[in-house]
Amino acid sequence: MEIIWKKIDSWLTTHAPQVMESLHSEATDEEIAQAEAFFGVDFPDDLRLSYRIHNGQAEDSYSLFPELEFLSLQSMIAISQKWQDCANEDFRCAPEDISEGIWNGWWNRYWIPFTNESNGACECVDLAPAAGGCVGQVVIVEWQEPARQLVAPSFRAYLERFADTLERGEYQFSEDGYGLVDLVDFEILESNK
């Protein structure tokens, strides 16, 4: 995880220092243990190691992941609690709106959210997949247009892909309050100025 984060931090320092400045320093072992106790699980090693490098980012800052805030452990707990508080026991996604291997329900307490979008969607490390899924897979959980989709086979794969995408120049920093955006969105934002 250190190598992956060094790539990300290096790119941010050069191309998006405002985003780099928003990243918190490492979480303590006690903070990680408190979050694990809240969820009733041990985090996968990659997730734990990542939070020992950066404990998310400051709220209301430029987004690290395109259109997604990187959650601190405290925000991770708050987002999970928000979803649990709005529980809908009768909720089910339509078959076309859910990937195989993802539990089909409103909120699973073993989904560990690590990103959040302003519309309420979040990406989670899934520690309780359905049949055909893999423990530790990354899923996106949509709030407004209910869907549950597979994003990556693991948190490490998710972060590696992000670092590689940065190095290939597929993201650009936008000062218009967005943070990192893909090049197509960046060109649209620039043309609308």
For residue range 89-140, list pLDDT tens digits in order. 788 888 899 999 999 999 999 999 999 998 889 999 999 999 999 999 999 9
Separation between Cα atoms, residue 149 and residue 141, nearest integer Å: 7
| Block residue for tokens 């089910």 | 92
State pTM to two decimals: 0.92
- Residue 183's pLDDT band, with cuts at 50, 70 and 90, is confident
CATH level 3 topology of 2-191? SMI1/KNR4-like (3.40.1580)
- Residue 185's pLDDT band, with cuts at 50, 70 and 90, is low
